[in-house]
Amino acid sequence: MPRSLTMHRTVVTPSDRAQFLETCRTREQHFRAAGCHYWVFEEHALPGAFIEFCEAPDLPALRAAHADAPGRPIATDRLYSIVELS
């Protein structure tokens, strides 16, 4: 089953955190509507350091979802595809 993924790291200042999370909520709605999964994790030891993951059923769907995503663009020069291990 093909799956594709992007990861993006961001560090925001405490004063920018609320706006960043609001943008993430908007992005989550966008990616969900595009048939993708979207997660945001914050580093415990470094508040304000985030990593975003977007997973799609395949590479074309991932590229299309990122092409018109709200907020600042996430570089899609590093795209990952699942590796079947069995």
Whether residue 86 is contained in a domain is answered as: no
Which domain covers residue 57, as residue numbers? 4-81
State mean pLDDT over 13-24.
96
Tens of pLDDT, residue by residue over 19-76, are 999 999 999 999 999 999 999 999 999 999 999 999 999 999 999 999 989 887 777 7
Per-residue pLDDT at 18 exceeds 90: yes
Residue 55 lies inside a defined structural domain of this protein? yes
73 domain residue, yes or no: yes
Instruction: Provide the CATH number for the domain around residue 46.
Output: 3.30.70.100
Is 28 inside a domain boundary?
yes
- Domain count for the chain: 1
Percentages of the chain per state (helix, strand, coil), in multiples of 5:
35, 30, 40
Tell me phi and psi for residue 31, to 5 degrees: -65, -40
